[in-house]
Structure 1
Amino acid sequence: MTNTTAEKNDDIQNSDKSSLVESKVLPKIQSSNHLEDEKPMLATNSAYSDPENGGNINGSAVKQVLAAVVAQLGTINTGMTFGFSAIALPQLQEPNSTIPIVEGSSEESWIASMSSIGTPIGCLVSGYMMDVLGRKRSLIITEIPALLGWILIAFATDIRMIYAGRFFVGLGSGMVGAPARVYTGEVTQPHLRGMLTAFSSIGVSTGVLIEYLLGSVLTWNVCAAISGILPLAALLLMFLFPETPSYLISRSRPEKAREALQQFRGNAYNINQEMETLINFSNKNNLKRLTGFREILSALLKPNAVKPFTLLFLYFLIYQWSGTNVITFYAVEIFKDSGTTLNKYLAAVILGIVRLASTIVASVLCRRSGRRPLTMVSSVGCGLSMIGLGGYLWLKSYWAANNLPFIATWFPVLCIFSYTVTCTLGFLVIPWVMIGEVYPTQVRGIIGGLTTMAAHSFIFTVVKTYPFLASTLTRHGTFILYGCISLFGTIYFYLCLPETKGKTLQEIEDYFSGRNNDLRTGNIIRHKPKVLEVKKGQILP
């Protein structure tokens, strides 16, 4: 049997590499192998398995976790943006408010919705910026409008400053989504990638809860000032981490990529094979910087970009039209109309806590269970919960029309909480994780931005049309419609959603390019170290 390392060295020497890679990177790979006296090393999933060192094949988890957390700090700002209007509007409507507004007025609706105007714009801008300036610089720049927005709100003396502040925090929220997930996806190994990318969803839920808690004890302008601390911290901490290796290789900077990869994996980890995999993949796909509009458009129209974009576009469409953000934005009103005896504000706070706890559980399950099973749990659970809620509200209207007493008032609360839990386990995590996984390196930033823009546009349309649907189809009819859409989505996900858990980014891109079919069945292939076997008469080199 031929030694694995020797085989890979021969493959490298025989392949058609660029002169830059041959002169700068490959000698280091070869020399480092000679320095190790060519110990038998086994490759498993872009990592080394060294039997003499306990078979450790993974890099430093601590370094990867820290990089992921810092990259996704800005997503907490997104949650704060969602939650701010809920705590600010009641205070602004008080008689002693410094900037008084009237309940139900246009000022109230503009404060609530202004951030939704900035968010899709931010998504589109960050996508292009990520591929031109890099993932790291984009993450730094995204925090500037968010910080500016909170400052404007904190020092607002009239309603126009609040409008401007809300627009800028929404712009920052939109800009941070794709870079945070792409950066995390590119710097983490497959066994950690799903769980760490899911930190974005945890960040959003955490931001909502933080804003609710601050608003219960502080005035709206003080809440805005405290909220501005977070984008400032994210901006400063991001300077401590390097650019992603994948981006650096796509820009013909293999030495910088090698240094960055070593920093993310730790000094004890042998990065030679992972570097070799990244370089081979770059050469195989002829990755280079796209400068012209035609080049970018051509890359966007390739199957490995169009297929995953269509997949996630429909995923977000189904997920949003299952009524997710209707529950989030109208929670207090829905609790009030359900007829429950539980205090509606207390119920909303508890709902926020349940959402955060469920998001944390979902992040752990994302590593263990895969993308497909969690998506199925959400589509079925959300569908049944919404139909149950709609059915109860129909019964409630019947009881009210016939002067009958309400019974089982706990049931709608159960439906809302079960909806939140099942939705969080899959819908609120999986599609956002997949943004950092499924797109080709060359246009990952641009198409990631387009995807997040589409997702936030769906949020706007669903929330905006809910009052109209509730008045046209009745409230219970609207919820039943959402439930049916979610159940229909189960069929689509079962037939079309691939399983990306445990796959390298290169394997995923090969799948959408049609070069392999490993993801179609949804089976999770666990990479196990192979044992070197020596046949009779054969000697290990």
Structure 2
Amino acid sequence: MSAEESRPLLGSRQASEQWLLPAESCPVRDAYLSKVQNRKLYLATFAAVLGPLSFGFVLGYSSPAIPDLKKISDPKLRLDTNEASWFGSVVTLGAAAGGILGGYMVDKVGRKLSLMLCSIPYISGFTIIISAQNVCMLYFGRILTGLASGVTSLVVPVYISEISHSKVRGALGSCVQLMVVTGILGAYAAGMALRWRWLAVLCSFPPCIMLMFMAFMPETPRFLLTQNKRLEAMAALQFLRGSEVNHEWELRQIETKVEEQHGLNIAEFKNPSIYKPLFIGMALMFFQQVTGINAIMFYAETIFEEANFKDSRMASVVVGSIQVFFTAVAALTIDKTGRKVLLSISGFIMAISTAAFGLYCKMIFPSPSNSSHPDLLTTPVSVGSENNLAWLAVASLGLFITGFALGWGPIPWLVMSEIFPLKARGISSAACVLTNWFMAFLITKEFHDLTGFLTSYGTFWLFSAFCILNIIFTVLYVPETKGRTLEEIEAHF
């Protein structure tokens, strides 16, 4: 923040946080929002979050499918350890490319059409996996579903943030992550009963339903106004807010900002209103991944299996259930507690839990004489020791998932959809999604190599250290956006 921006007006704290005054200080907006009918807004949100549900099935698919594919009799399809790590992580490369593609599509063809189009690679990818005759087909199917996931992870938060109003934007934005973890849990649970081909059949249903639902939902008013479609924007607001409010008032609030927008060029990245939110958004995505969440979720079943748990698939379902429950808790409380509080609590819980899991690994798995040993997670000291300390592994991983679900799961995606100016929303969101998925690829692909280099306990202690850095970053840099309109957040930067 510049010296001018931080110069005291009513005292330094009041000056720096004037924009954070409660929404109740705006009686006109309060009166407007009191008459809003949210039923169709919730319907549009439900249609959009079928995309993240599909995305969750993609992420969760690898955990039950990898053990199946390692044991399959067909040598052309059987995965060895290296191929299994590629099968789990190659989806993130497709998602990184999808983030770039989504950043282009969301500004060119719109939020609604981008979401509808991404159902094509979802369905095509799972169809290729279902009909796979060799490992390359499995990889290609995973890349396509990853591409669709990347587009989804960018477009859906933007769509929801632009159709929502300030009173419910936090809760509805958190539904993105809620549906992702619901999809992961669905894949885990279905994987207990279905083999990998039939599981892929099941995973192909949500994107089909999304395509049908989204066809009847409106485009966002903000995008329509950028296309000079004022009548369509008014119709969209009438659909989303009901018939009892003065739609013209909200339309004018949006229109004022849209009229100030102009084409984005490279020189404008020197403007604090562009580079500050971009830095915050990319940093949030980086820190989300270096907590180790995707390594744990991609290999959840494998981790439990190699730690000699009797029912590794059930353990994965329990982990997924915890994540769904506490993500729902975050969605219900985020508009009351605020983003920064939940992020800080979340980071603290994750730091404690990953440190505890590292301690479990330290006590159970022997330190190898060769630090490049690749199979640290496969050599328990003894079955008896493992059984005595199994509670520590379950408790620490369960606590980690709880912490992640409360803050660092849903909130980075929500904040990303809130802080960027309209003219930079596509390219800035693409940069954030690319950062997220590139880091996800590095963490998931190199997880086993990292445990070989640092030992298993050293790897989880490294994750714990990053969780502490998450808290510091949140306190110092992340703005509180609770109760603010998108236009007010943009004005702040």
- Provide the residue aligned with 1:47 in structure 2: 29
Q: State whether structure 2 residue 126 is matched by structure 1 residue 145.
A: no
Match of 1:87 among 61, 64, 75: 64
Q: Does 1:175 align with 2:158?
A: no
1:486 & 1:380 partners in 2: Cα distance? 7
- After superposition, give the CA deviation of every residue in 1:24-81 in whole Å (9 maximum; x if it has no partner): xxxxxxxxxxxxxxxxxx994773627xxxxx62422111111111112111111111
* RMSD value, Cα: 2.5
d(CA) in 1 for partners of 2:361, 2:170: 38
When residues 403 and 210 of structure 1 are mapped into structure 2, their CA distance, relative to the original with a 3 A threshold, is closer
Q: Give the match for residue 311 of structure 1.
A: 280
Query: Does the residue aligned with 2:446 lie in a helix, a strand or coil?
Result: helix
Q: Which runs of 5+ in 1 are unaligned?
A: 1-41, 51-55, 513-541
Distance in 2 of aligned mates of 1:175 and 1:186? 17
Q: Per the alignment, do residues 216 and 425 of structure 1 end up closer, same or farther by CA in structure 2, a change over 3 Å counting?
A: same
1:67 corresponds to which residue?
44
Alignment match, 1:287: 261
Match of residue 485, structure 1, among 466, 472, 479: 466
Q: TM-score, normalised by structure 2?
A: 0.86
Aligned length: 457
Alignment of structure 1 residues 23-422 onto 2, 5 Å:
44=26, 47=29, 49=31, 57-97=34-74, 100-104=77-81, 106=83, 108-283=84-259, 286-288=260-262, 290=263, 295-336=264-305, 343-397=311-365, 407-422=388-403
Using the size of structure 1 for normalisation, the TM-score is 0.79
Shift of residue 509, structure 1, vs aligned partner: 0.4
Give the CA deviation at 1:210.
1.4
Within the candidate set 430, 433, 443, 1:449 is matched to 430
Which position in structure 2 is the counterpart of 1:429? 410
CA contact (8 A) 2:63 2:300 kept: no
Alignment partner of 1:60: what SS?
coil
Q: Secondary structure at the match of 2:215?
A: helix
Match of residue 518 from structure 1: none
* Residue aligned with 1:267, SS: coil
| One-letter amino acid of the counterpart of residue 154, structure 1 | I
1:103-123 per-residue CA deviation (whole Å, 9 max, x = no partner) reads 3253x3443233222110000
**Distance (whole Å) between structure 1 residues aligned to residue 250 and residue 383 of structure 2:** 71
The answer (yes or no) to whether the contact 1:130–1:446 under 8 Å persists in 2 is no
Structure with greater helix share of residues? 2
The one-letter amino acid paired with 1:375 is L
Distance apart, 1:408 and its partner CA: 4.4
How far residue 95 of structure 1 moved from its aligned partner, in angstroms, is 4.8
* Counterpart residue identity of residue 87, structure 1: P
Tell me what 1:468 maps to. Answer: 449
Q: Is the 8 A contact 1:43 1:273 kept in 2?
A: no
State the shift of 1:333 in Å. Answer: 4.1
CA distance in 2, matches of 1:498, 1:84: 35
- Give the AA of the match of 1:222: W
Compared CA separation, residues 208 and 367, structure 1 to 2 (3 A): same
How far does the alpha carbon of each residue in 1:346-393 deviate from its partner, in whole angstroms, 9 at most, with x for none?
212211111111111111121221100100011111111111222233
Distance 2:172 2:74 in 1: 42
Q: Is the 8 A contact 1:380 1:490 kept in 2?
A: yes
- The higher radius of gyration belongs to 1
Native 8 Å contact 2:77 2:134 kept in 1:
no
Partner Cα distance (1:402, 1:156) in 2: 39
| Corresponding residue number in structure 1 for 2:11 | none
CA gap 1:463/1:162 in 2 versus in 1, 3 angstroms: closer
**1:255-282, CA deviations, whole angstroms, 9 ceiling, x for partnerless residues?**
2211211111011222122112112223
Q: Deviations over 1:186-223 (max 9, x none)?
A: 00111111111111101111111111222222232222
Paired residues of 1:126 and 1:446 also in contact (CA < 8 A)? no
Distance 1:398 1:117, change over 3 A: closer
Counterpart Cα distance in 2 of 1:303 and 1:490:
23
C-alpha displacement of 1:92: 2.9
Of 462-471 and 329-338, more deviation after overlay is shown by 329-338
